[in-house]
Structure 1
Amino acid sequence: MSTPSAEHAHGFTLRRQRAALPWSIAALATVIALVLGIVVIQQSNRPAVAASGAATSEVTGPLRVHYEPAMAGEEKILDFVAEEIAPDHGVEIEAVGIEDSVQSNRAVAEGSIHATIFEHQWYMKQVADANGFELTPTIELYQWAFGLYSTRYDSVEELPDGATLAVPTDLANQGQALWLLDREGLITLDPDIEPRTAKLKDVVDNPRGFEFTEIDLLSMARTLDSVDVAIGYTNLFDAGKVGRDKGILFPDPPRTFASRLIVGTQFADTPETQKLIEVFSDPRLEEYLKTTDDPLVAGVLTPVSAE
């Protein structure tokens, strides 16, 4: 086949447009530069990730931490952390009080509140399981003084056979109360169960014939005069204007019932959670619990026990 000539009978000439090539290369280079620039910007906006996989990007805005309003000492702890510790870690703590434990845990699970400090891991599990919440307990923070109160007797030894003892209705704290009595030799729990899970049906020996009644934890102080002994948290009796001189037994609570910094499971690895763990791990918090003379904290909220 022969090569056609440049001149055709159509009356026009075909020419190679060599001048357009440099413009095309320049345009392509510009597009590539723009794309690379966008990628660089996007990469710079992503949180940095440490070797462990935890996000380490800067936290902006206050970190909202929930406390139980009926537990006045918890707010005091958050005030101390917000004023004395958080600024040194470059963050702001905002205390949020919600009285409904279901709603507060829902807010943490959904992320509108970053964390809560008002519960131990077993109460958290009880609420989470009942409501389908995904929650994760992290570091231990402090413990609540927990013991026996009575307006009728001055010691455990004075309790008569058949005395009426009030224990919490919620199973997590009922387990703590019964375990306390078991450790003090006042009752015996079924040895085949984990003590923290104990229920009244798990009492296998009751040598003094104690009668048990279940009372809502928040109502213990109000009903104290109607029973021989009520078992619960010191701060709730304080809130109910029951003097601490009415406390007749305060053994160290088991470490497993320590307060935890609890977060929504889906937020466990966020920069906000990592920063909160950093702040609440600061040794100044433990020192504050050991040395404060604030009556809402001293003898009420204590450092985590050894066991």
Structure 2
Amino acid sequence: MPINDFEIRKKKRWPLPVGLAVVVVVALGAWHFGSSRQQAVTFGTTLKVHFEPAMAGEQRVIEYVGEHIAPDYGIKLEAVGLQDPVQADRAVAQGEYAATIYQHQWWLKQVVDANNFKLTSTLPVFQWAFGIYSDRYKSIADLPDGAEIAVPNDGANQGQALWLLQRIGLIGLDPSIEARTAKLADIRENKHNFKFKELDLLTMPRALNSVDAAIGYVSQFDAGKVPRDKGILFPPAPKTFASQLVIGTPYLQDANIQKLEKAFSDPRLQQWLKTTDDPLVKGVLVPVSNE
């Protein structure tokens, strides 16, 4: 197209103080709108509850509560899968979802500290079975000196793995720190000279044949088609790592949110976790313990 078919106009410019004033007013208006919008959220009787798709049993938990318990409290549940856990927490903090059930308190603290989300853990829902797997050895006692052990690369779950190794006497951690938040740098005793490899939880099943052992969630290894007989230790799940029903702090007094809390605290859920034969739940998600 010929250049003379266009009319080139010089953009009108505001004087600098006026431009800044407009920017400030717009920014303040956007902040006020966003703040008001968050506070104005009111939940209806159909509540979206997030689960992490890689943890298929979580969806089953929400569906069980939705079908068998929630109607008694006058609400309906919609299970919503979103793989990005930080975005899920953001959605809960902003009132887009009513709650999430994928995280324990230590992961939640990590997310809140990093993002300043307004989130509250209200009650434990279940515990994830957690274990040590190996392609090469049949028991913990068989692990040789110098064995390479894969541990989660995120701080919250790495702490659980190292705390497990300390509880069974294979390593010693710095006594001045909270053991459940330990990092590799906090190892003070390693009499077997174990070598540690940090891996994302989702990659552990694929990497199992390249290390001597790996520590992670049963659900992750199940999803990776790793037979459970490759598990060489399944310790009792500690309550401190129980999943939490996490709710946006500004919405705790919402009537339907309070009904949601009552539905998930109903004893029928713990009984179902104890007795279900659902393969996505049995031996993967277990009742909340007293420990």
Indicate the TM-score class for this superposition, using the shorter chain for normalisation.
Answer: 0.7 to 0.9
- Conserved 8 A contact 1:59-1:91: no
Measure how far apart 1:121 and its partner are: 1.1
Output one character per residue of 1:184-219: Cα deviation in whole Å (capped at 9) or x when no partner.
Answer: 000011111111110001110001110001001111
* Aligned counterpart in structure 1 of residue 154 of structure 2, from 163, 166, 170: 170
Measure how far apart 1:60 and its partner are: 3.3
* Aligned counterpart in structure 2 of residue 233 of structure 1, from 183, 200, 217: 217
- The answer to whether residue 199 in structure 2 is matched with residue 215 in structure 1 is yes
- Give unmatched runs, 5+ long, in structure 2: 1-41
- Conserved 8 A contact 1:149-1:230: yes
**Structure 2 counterpart of 1:191, which letter?**
P
- Structure 2 equivalent of residue 138 of structure 1: 122
* Aligned counterpart in structure 2 of residue 290 of structure 1, from 274, 277, 282: 274
Output one character per residue of 1:83-141: Cα deviation in whole Å (capped at 9) or x when no partner.
Answer: 11111111101111000011100000000000000110111111121122111101111
- Structure 1 equivalent of residue 105 of structure 2: 121
Q: Give the secondary structure class of the aligned counterpart of 2:177.
A: coil
- The answer to whether residue 114 in structure 2 is matched with residue 106 in structure 1 is no
- Structure 2 equivalent of residue 197 of structure 1: 181
Distance across 2 between alignment mates of 1:105 and 1:128: 9
- Conserved 8 A contact 1:138-1:263: yes
**TM-score (ref. length: structure 1):** 0.80
- Structure 1 equivalent of residue 25 of structure 2: none
Q: Give the secondary structure class of the aligned counterpart of 2:246.
A: strand
**Structure 2 counterpart of 1:287, which letter?**
Q
* Aligned counterpart in structure 2 of residue 270 of structure 1, from 245, 254, 270: 254
Distance across 1 between alignment mates of 2:181 and 2:126: 21
Q: Give the secondary structure class of the aligned counterpart of 2:278.
A: coil
Structure 1 ranges of 4+ moved more than 6 A: none
- Conserved 8 A contact 1:154-1:248: yes
Distance across 2 between alignment mates of 1:132 and 1:277: 23
Distance across 1 between alignment mates of 2:216 and 2:239: 16
- Structure 2 equivalent of residue 244 of structure 1: 228
Measure how far apart 1:293 and its partner are: 0.5
* Aligned counterpart in structure 1 of residue 73 of structure 2, from 89, 94, 104: 89
**TM-score (ref. length: structure 2):** 0.84
- Give unmatched runs, 5+ long, in structure 1: 1-57
**Structure 1 counterpart of 2:87, which letter?**
Q
Output one character per residue of 1:11-53: Cα deviation in whole Å (capped at 9) or x when no partner.
Answer: xxxxxxxxxxxxxxxxxxxxxxxxxxxxxxxxxxxxxxxxxxx
Distance across 2 between alignment mates of 1:289 and 1:165: 31
**Structure 2 counterpart of 1:159, which letter?**
L
Distance across 1 between alignment mates of 2:125 and 2:117: 22
How many pairs were matched up?
Answer: 250
Distance across 2 between alignment mates of 1:164 and 1:137: 35
**Structure 2 counterpart of 1:265, which letter?**
T
- Structure 2 equivalent of residue 303 of structure 1: 287
- Conserved 8 A contact 2:75-2:256: no
